Amino acid sequence: MTAGLLVVLAAAAVIAWIVGGPLLAARRRAALRAVGLSDAERAILSRRVPLYRCVPPGLRERLDGLIRVFLAEKEFIGCGGLEVTPAMKLTIATQACLLVLGRDEHVYDELRSVLVYPSQFVVPQTWHDEDGVVTEEESVLAGQAWDVSRIILSWEDVTAGGRGDEAYNVVVHEFAHYLDHETGVSLDVAGREDSGPAALLAREYEALCQAVERGEEPFLDPYAAEDEAEFFAVASEAFIETPREIAAAHPDIYAALASFYRLDPASWPVPRRGPGR
Ligand SMILES: [Zn+2]
């Protein structure tokens, strides 16, 4: 075999890898989406995630397919002695996939692992202030979007959300941070965009910070006043968990998030609490 032929073959292999890889991945995802969920899995979700029952039939099929892809592609790692059961994986995957239900072909592509602790966990954090002074301290967290490949959750906190009766959902919160990192929406809010969803959110964020400063109790958890990224994550929790309430109290926040997520959860049926978790 000549050196020239070897080069041609090597180039052909590289081209096949570049073109074929994504095609194979897309085909694998399409097959997984077509499988969807089993009746047993739907029954588990009906008990554990009442919001699942509210998703309209057309979207429900799409959600089932996204959940199947999520479960196949992401590794769940139990930490602190926790064994992550299939039902726990299903519960987390469903709430994460609710957020991308309206987005094209999005299943958190770069995410590799979801780490799950039994309860809140301690992480070392480093802060740099404006003068360059570095402070190191330990934080106790319910969840963290650690980096592009990992999200960490406290199972105790996961079970406290997802019921649609209060605006608390640590899975939605952390996956909203993940989407924010990808899209830079909170940076646009911080940059006080002139128009569009980020401009609406910027005005609402200002109003919220002022209300918190005045000692008032805002509609959103006051933690949303921490910064624009937390505002987006906390507002996303309310958008998924209590959409009718936030649409009534803050129509601009609802409109901005409906545009970002391409979903209208306020039009979905009201969830009824399941018989137990
Ligand atoms: Zn946060």
The answer as to whether 32 is a domain residue is no
pLDDT, residue 166, reads: 78
Mean local confidence (pLDDT), 174-199: 89
What separation in Å is there between the alpha carbon of 70 and the centre of ligand 1? Answer: 22
pLDDT > 90 fraction of the chain, expressed in percent and rounded: 61
What separation in Å is there between the alpha carbon of 233 and the centre of ligand 1? Answer: 6
User: Domain limits at 244?
Assistant: 184-268
Looking at the structure of the chain, the number of domains it has is 1
What separation in Å is there between the alpha carbon of 129 and the centre of ligand 1? Answer: 19
The answer as to whether 273 is a domain residue is no
pLDDT at 87 over 70: yes
Q: Are 63 and 101 in contact (CB under 8 A)?
A: yes
> Which range, of 89-93, 121-125, 215-219, averages the lowest pLDDT?
121-125
The answer as to whether 262 is a domain residue is yes
> Across the strands, what pairs with 154?
117
The answer as to whether 116 is a domain residue is no
> Across the strands, what pairs with 127?
135
Higher pLDDT, 136 or 236: 236
The answer as to whether 50 is a domain residue is no
The answer as to whether 244 is a domain residue is yes
Check which CATH number belongs to the domain holding 203 and give it.
3.40.390.10
Mean local confidence (pLDDT), 242-257: 95
| Spatial distance between the Cα atoms of 102 and 188, rounded to a whole number of angstroms | 21
pLDDT, residue 11, reads: 75
What separation in Å is there between the alpha carbon of 179 and the centre of ligand 1? Answer: 12
Mean local confidence (pLDDT), 227-237: 95
| Spatial distance between the Cα atoms of 189 and 204, rounded to a whole number of angstroms | 10
The answer as to whether 178 is a domain residue is no
pLDDT, residue 275, reads: 46
> Which amino acid is residue 47, in one-letter code?
R
Closest C-alpha among 35, 79, 42 to residue 57: 42
> Which range, of 64-68, 172-176, 215-219, 234-238, averages the lowest pLDDT?
215-219
The answer as to whether 264 is a domain residue is yes
What separation in Å is there between the alpha carbon of 223 and the centre of ligand 1? Answer: 9
**Tally of residues, the chain:** 277
